[in-house]
């Protein structure tokens, strides 16, 4: 059974940093591209980042480019999202998701909530 378990969310002040983790199991993590999608309270889904199987290809939405960094540890089956210079508009539930061809997401984690507020 595919499982994706996010952690690391919480309450931070504007300008601070946070690192999210996503522990993967039930599939061959090192062979799967992965992504992060967020959802602000009461809003829709927003893709923010994806990473290739080996980690050498990283991609970002304009809204987070230069502030967020996606990475992965294929030896530990963990996906990361380093979030710097956080803003109030980054407040959202953050989901990690397993990608299949065409950057479609076949499995999702339960999400971790990030709140940016002073």
Partner 1 sequence: QSALTQPRSVSGSPGQSVTISCTGTSSDVGTYNYVSWYQQYPGKAPKLMIYDVSKRPSGVPDRFSGSKSDNTASLTISGLQAEDEADYYCCSYAGSSVVFGGGTKLTVL
50 lies in the binding site for partner 1 (CB under 8 A) = yes
**H helical segments located in the chain:** none
70 close to 56: Cβ distance less than 8 angstroms? no
d(CA 48, CA 15): 19
Is the Cβ of residue 32 or residue 50 nearer to partner 1 in the bound state?
50
Check binding of 27 to partner 1 (CB under 8 A).
Answer: no
Give the residue, chosen from 62, 66, 75, 118, that forms a contact with partner 1 under the rule CB under 8 A.
Answer: 62
Shortest distance in whole angstroms from residue 75 CB to partner 1: 26
Distances (CA, A) of 58 to 14, 104, 118: 25, 16, 31
Alpha helices in 9-110 (DSSP H): none
Determine if 89 is a binding residue for partner 1 (CB under 8 A): no
**Residue carrying structure tokens 């050498």:** 56
> Applying CB under 8 A, which of residues 12, 22, 32, 109 lies at the interface with partner 1?
109
Residue 10 CB, shortest distance to partner 1, in Å, is 18
Shortest CB 53 distance to partner 1, Å: 15
Q: Which two tokens stand for residue 41?
A: 């309270």
Q: Under the rule (CB under 8 A), what is the footprint of partner 1?
A: 35, 37, 44-47, 50, 59, 61-62, 95, 100-111
């Amino acid at each position: 059974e595919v499982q994706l378990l996010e952690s690391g969310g919480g309450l931070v002040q504007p300008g601070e940093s946070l690192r999210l983790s996503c522990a993967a199991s039930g599939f061959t993590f090192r062979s799967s591209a992965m992504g992060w999608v967020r959802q602000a309270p009461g809003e829709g889904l927003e893709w923010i980042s994806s990473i290739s199987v080996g980690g050498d290809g990283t991609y970002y939405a304009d809204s987070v480019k230069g502030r967020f960094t996606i990475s992965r540890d294929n030896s530990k089956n963990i996906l990361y999202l380093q979030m710097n210079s956080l803003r109030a508009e980054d407040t959202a539930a953050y989901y990690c998701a397993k990608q299949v061809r065409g950057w479609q997401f076949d499995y999702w984690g339960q999400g971790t909530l990030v709140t940016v507020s002073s």
